[in-house]
Amino acid sequence: MSAVIEADGVHKAFGPTTALAGASIAVAAGEVVAIMGPSGSGKSTLLHCLAGIVRPDKGVVKFDGRDIGALSERQRSALRRTRFGFVFQFGQLVPELTCLENVTLPLRLERVGGREARRRAAEWLDRLEVADVAGKRPGEVSGGQGQRVAVARALVTGARVVFADEPTGALDSLNGERVMRLLTTAARETGAAVILVTHEARVAAYADREVIVRDGFTRDLAEIPA
Ligand SMILES: Nc1ncnc2c1ncn2[C@@H]1O[C@H](COP(=O)(O)OP(=O)(O)OP(=O)(O)O)[C@@H](O)[C@H]1O
């Protein structure tokens, strides 16, 4: 498998707390991987290391075969903006902007012209079945609609990797499943890899593979004897 993103032997401590103690993972283009494990086991820290938000104390993170630890902060920030998409538990949409404007934002940051950015954003809202909320502000839409707008924003730039940290954590099961169905379908169509942190087996069921983090170590579920 040729990985689009991978971590090898990643260690990270916050003061006296060891969050990761040798975590490794490799995810291919178009693959959806669920990271599961007990609370405090290091799942979010692993996601943040893969996304170049947190710098590991030891170990390597590679995107497209390149060590992202060797990049400057500015280069890593450009990588996050242009190649990575993010969906968190609470959409983190900009409340003052309409849903359409929220989705155009990453394109405008890349200097895509206004008309083209609006066209592409509208297309993504449509794919995520939220075209009808384009003109509304995030405070005027439901939790499920807001998360679908957040998924559109994550994918609109042609992200190669989508990082989703408990993307359905604040939703009821029906809305959670709809978000997962649309996210995974869109990712498989575009060839984006999805790294999904979740507590819920029902959500992880949308992934191709599960990786378990326990006490800062990773284990591929396929490697654990039944
Ligand atoms: N910025 C930080 N400063 C100090 N300690 C931190 C920080 N981030 C994480 N930790 C600690 O590192 C460990 C792993 O945290 P992390 O958030 O990665 O776990 P998690 O598996 O995502 O947990 P949860 O499922 O509860 O969200 C925990 O003991 C946590 O308290």
- With a 6 Å cutoff on the Cβ, whether 42 touches ligand 1 is yes
Kindly report the three-state secondary structure assignment for every residue of 116-151: HHHHHHHHHHHHCCCHHHCCCCHHHCCHHHHHHHHH
CA–centroid distance, residue 214 to ligand 1 (Å): 12
Instruction: Give this complex's ipTM.
Output: 0.96
Residue bearing the CA closest to ligand 1, atom 17:
44
Residues 6+ apart with CB under 8 A from 197: 34, 35, 36, 43, 44, 47, 164, 165, 166
**Structure confidence by residue, pLDDT tens digits, 98-137:** 999 999 999 999 999 999 999 999 999 999 999 999 999 9
CB 179 within 8 Å of CB 148 = yes
- With a 6 Å cutoff on the Cβ, whether 91 touches ligand 1 is no
Residue bearing the CA closest to ligand 1, atom 28:
40
CA–centroid distance, residue 120 to ligand 1 (Å): 36
- Vertex 141 angle, CA 136 and 145, to 5°: 110
pTM of the prediction? Answer: 0.92
Alpha-carbon distance of 191 to 189, in angstroms, equals 6
- Vertex 91 angle, CA 150 and 193, to 5°: 50
**Structure confidence by residue, pLDDT tens digits, 177-208:** 999 999 999 999 999 999 999 999 999 999 99
Helix (H, G, I), strand (E, B) or coil at 14: strand
